[in-house]
Amino acid sequence: MRALITNQFFLWDIFLFLPLFIRPKPAAKTTSIPLLAAPIGITQRTLTLHTHTCAMELLLASLLLLALFSLSFLLVFHFKTNSPKFPPGNTGWPIVGETLELVSENRTPDKFIDERRTKHSPEIFKTSLAGETMAVLCSPAGNKFLFSNENKLVVSWWPRSLEKITMSSRGSAAEKAKRNSGFFAEFLKPDALKRYVPIIDSMVMQHLETEWNTANNQVKAYPLSKKFTFAVGCKIFMSIDDSEHVARLSEPYAKVAAGLLSVPVNFPGTNFSNGIKAANFIRDELTPIIEERRRKLYDEKELADPNLMSHILLSTDENGMSMTKNDIADTVLGALLASHETVAIAMSFVLYYLADHPDVYAKVLKEQLEVANSKEPENLLNRDDCQKMKYSRNVINEALRLQPPAVGGFKHVISDFTYAGFTVPKGWKIFWSTYSTNKDPKYFPNPEKFDPSRFEDNGPAPYTFIPFGGGARMCPGAEFSRLEILIFVHRLITKFRWEKLIPDEKIVYKPMPISVDGLPIRLVPRENKAQSCSGLAMLEVQSP
Ligand code: HEM
């Protein structure tokens, strides 16, 4: 269709400019006999006759031109009024499109969106990311439209690099993700979360006593948070708590993460190739664990270990078929990938903002001490305790608003649709971003200010705060993530206050936001240590 429209304009051009090239000579010149004509027998009469014939021909030619001109005008008008109006925007460089501008380390992703929104349209613009032409919907209305049209107009989509690295078996990525979201919804439902709270609490205390306990009380909060959230994932998803085993699994994860949004050319040494190798290494590590778990479940009828892996092993599809080893390994690999870096980033930004805002720190401390004082010191936290941490929850939400760990997600258009007056055709991809509304002053006055009170009462307007996405594909780990951070903050703040060792530490976007030096902090033991965790016994807890 686009070619057609271009051709129509080409026709326009020809018909507008053609008369300039074939315009007849003025009649006045033909009535006088040029001096050179007489010797070769051209008389005034022959000239007059000839002139009349020429005039007729010119008239006919002009009428013909006029007819063609009118026809072309009608055609162009027809196509112009009936052709779809695509979202305005640029597709940037060949292949890479505008990807590098979105994932530029030194700019927050909201700048990318704001610039184009101002230039093209406030609701939707066209760009090219991950090798695909995409529409970017960038307002609360756009978020609502997308999240409520999953499986009707759009389905979730992943760039080829991500699909190749995280999915080893054939089959539609969208179908697999749909199937897996059922497992996750069940595994992370509120009732199940109750079981995980004491387990996570016990792990927080263990990590604070070991990893966070240094001679000079200085630690790098981001890498240590990552180590902690990865260990929690291994425990909750697979019941693995041997630290060496956890370390062996965690090592290749950095390579997997680096390959996810790389150019999908499998050439040795590239991020993509390293990502594939690292993911295969993890699958090879997971396979014997899956086999062992399957053996226990079926031979020994041992059901006392309901982790994610056992949960999947016990499930069958509508035809009574179990998932293959490869699919189970892919699902667990994906769960660890989705859950550890995202939560670690959110956790470390909570510490980052608390260090900068002593007033907020004081309110969180007060709330957490109230929870601590309401319990016997030797008791682990439970879900009800976490429900009481309302202000701390607002602090987590505000950190997620200012530094959303996930930049957004992609969709594939399965049916043409019109949005804000622009047509998005079937086959296009869509990008939605957690950064499109999170700092809009219309919804968050003084948007750069860290202000947890925004989340009091009814909180932000619908579809303006979307760190976990929305609709049918919303992150099933949202509440799990908040619980993990609340528990961590509880144990840390009742034991320490902390200060940043680099006060103005820069944040880079890769595209996840990361404190460039890993957030080095000094932990200062609080004077009133009545409720610190140091005096608590490390309680042995059952696997989930
Ligand atoms: C702060 C932490 C986290 C953030 C910011 C986050 C963010 C997101 C986002 C933006 C999506 C895409 C939603 C969409 O496409 O509409 C997503 C999907 C997903 N997340 Fe999370 N996530 C976090 C933690 C977790 C955790 C802890 C788990 C698992 C325990 C998890 C598991 C998943 C899964 C399985 C999906 C795919 C859902 C589907 O396709 O149906 N996430 N997450």
Write the DSSP string, 451-462: -GGGGSTT-SPT
Q: From the CA of 245, how far away is ligand 1's center (Å)?
A: 25
At 28 the pLDDT is 37
At 105 the pLDDT is 79
At 260 the pLDDT is 86
At 72 the pLDDT is 65
The annotation places the binding site for heme at 475
Give the span between the Cα atoms of 452 and 450, in whole angstroms. Answer: 7
Q: From the CA of 477, how far away is ligand 1's center (Å)?
A: 6
Query: What is the residue whose two structure tokens read 């053996």?
Result: 295
Q: From the CA of 413, how far away is ligand 1's center (Å)?
A: 21
| pTM of the shown model | 0.83
Give the span between the Cα atoms of 390 and 519, in whole angstroms. Answer: 26
At 531 the pLDDT is 44
Do residues 340 and 183 touch, judged by C-beta distance below 8 A? Answer: no
Q: Of the residues 144, 150, 189, 475, which should be mutated to test ligand 1's pocket, given the most ligand atoms within 8 Å of the CB?
A: 475
At 462 the pLDDT is 97
Q: Which atom of ligand 1 is nearest to the CA of 184?
A: 35
Q: Which residues line ligand 1 (CB under 6 A)?
A: 156, 177, 181, 184, 188, 335, 338-339, 342-343, 346, 405-406, 409, 467-470, 473-477, 480-481
Low-confidence ranges of the chain (pLDDT < 70): 1-54, 69, 71-82, 300-305, 528-544
Give the span between the Cα atoms of 317 and 422, in whole angstroms. Answer: 40
Residue 171 tokens read as: 């089959």
Do residues 197 and 204 touch, judged by C-beta distance below 8 A? Answer: no
Cα–Cα distances in Å, from 319 out to 187, 316, 338, 351?
Answer: 21, 7, 29, 48
